[in-house]
Amino acid sequence: MANQKTSYKQRETLMATITNNPDKEKALNLVLNQIERSFGKGSIMRLGDAARMRVETIPSGALTLDLALGGGLPKGRVIEIYGPESSGKTTLALHALAEVQKAGGVAAFVDAEHALDPTYAEALGVDIHNLLVAQPDTGESALEIVDQLVRSAAVDIVVVDSVAALVPRAEIEGEMGDNQVGLQARLMSKALRKIAGNIGKSGCVVIFLNQLRQKIGVTYGSPEVTTGGTALKFYASVRLDIRRIQTLKKGSEGEYGIRAKVKVAKNKVAPPFRIAEFDIIFGKGISQMGCMIDMAEHTDVITRKGAWYSYNGDNIAQGRDNAVKYLEENPDTAVIIEKQVREKLDIASLSFAGSTSEDEEEFEPVEAEE
């Protein structure tokens, strides 16, 4: 026991000597100044001196997803959205573009698939007259455009649609039957090494949309893989797996939308594996009023007894669809409810912040295709 006390006192004395050593402090300040002169201001700093300790975020366009992400899409990070066809990948990305534009930001869309629908984008709230659009012929051109946009520090968000359509120049110039293994994976790996640092410095959000493929001969585990190799998996701070879980139908009108489910497969800025669900209405995009009803009920801003929804003790609608319709017809009430929901969730209206916990579900991650 006496030996332990002696050892503890010795450690305390040693730590006091280290922390109170003026020569070490002087040498540290000297080397910090030398590094800043060589590599520029801000190249090295004490973390406590950083201007922004918390990662700033932008809204995704779906309040339920913002909660699952711990506030929204993080600025200065790479984000991957993947899923099967017609699951809502492009719709989600276009909503993020619209939210940035509403806040006065500059948005760019790199359309490698050559499939952007301006009419649909405008219906989702995108300002198509000020949206920067590039339709490159090769993967190298697309990623070089992304790099230059990011380095300019004048663009707030860039969406690349999609990784699968980033065709290497050698593949385009070659014959159809040529076997060129790993070209796209090497292209993505090289580009992300180059772009990642610039993204962090500029604070730009870069969203890569990705497709799924099936591995052959898989007996155990998921056979699904994303295209473009494994580099994007490592560089992405957030990976979102979006799936279509239900088709929305209304009587004789038939199908009018889908119910989408997003799993946060990876998140470096908040707890991962959270789940978010929202409706996507054909021709209109994400039902933001539907998200608001769900979150208002979750936070007890709106209460539900049976089929009736009530606000401040007054019944407002019977059934979820009618409650959504009520908010659409009463925008002033919707604004008040949204403000109350955001206050309870600690999520700001423009620059989202905060992190709240939700029940986590088991999730089998999707691998990347070489």
The residue among 255, 286, 317 that closes a domain is 286
> Are 224 and 281 in the same domain?
yes
Please check whether residues 217 and 317 belong to one and the same domain: no
Count how many domains the chain has.
Answer: 2
In a domain? residue 47: no
Within-domain flag for 34: no
Of all residues in the chain, what percent carry a pLDDT higher than 70?
86
Q: Token match 């405008």: residue?
A: 122
Considering the domain architecture, whether residues 127 and 251 belong to the same structural domain is answered as yes
DSSP 8-state secondary structure symbol assigned to residue 291: H
How much is the average pLDDT of 298-317?
91
Q: What is the pLDDT of residues 207-220, one digit of tens each?
A: 999 999 998 888 88
**For residue 355, pLDDT beyond 70:** no
**More confident call, 347 vs 198:** 198
Would 17 be classed as within a structural domain?
Answer: no
Same domain for 139 and 213?
A: yes
Q: Decide if 258 contacts 91 (C-beta within 8 A).
A: no
pTM recorded for the entire structure: 0.84
Binding residues: 83-90
Taking 80 as the threshold, does the pLDDT of residue 127 lie above it?
A: yes
Q: pLDDT band for 6, please (50, 70, 90 cuts).
A: low
Split at pLDDT 50, 70, 90, the class of 168 is very high
Residue 212 lies in a domain: yes
Residue 367, pLDDT above cutoff 90: no
* Residue 15 forms part of a structural domain: no
Residues 153 and 195 in one domain: yes
Torsion of CA 118, 124, 126, 129, to 10 degrees: 40
DSSP assignments along 31-54, one per residue: HHHHHHHHH-TTSS--GGG-S-SS
* Number of other CB atoms surrounding residue 33 within 10 Å: 11
Are residues 117 and 250 both part of a single domain?
A: yes
Q: What is the dihedral of CA 291, 297, 302, 307, to 10 degrees?
A: 100
Is the CB of residue 256 less than 8 Å from the CB of residue 248? yes
**Residues 104 and 69 both lie in one domain:** yes
Do both 201 and 342 map to the same domain? no
Q: Are residues 345 and 203 in the same domain?
A: no
The residue type of 187 is L
* Within a domain: 40: no
pLDDT score for 163: 96
In a shared domain, residues 204 and 121: yes
Report helix, strand or coil for 273.
coil
Q: Which amino acid is at 294?
A: D
Q: Within this chain, do residues 282 and 327 fall inside the same structural domain, yes or no?
A: no
Flag whether pLDDT at 353 surpasses 50.
Answer: no
Q: What is the pLDDT of residue 278?
A: 96
Domain for residue 35, yes or no? no
Q: What angle do CA 271, 370, 165 make, to 5 degrees?
A: 90
What is the CATH number for 320? 3.30.250.10
User: Domain range holding 331?
Assistant: 288-351
Q: What pLDDT score does 178 carry?
A: 80
346 and 299 within one domain: yes
Please enumerate, by residue number, every residue annotated as part of a binding site for ATP.
83-90
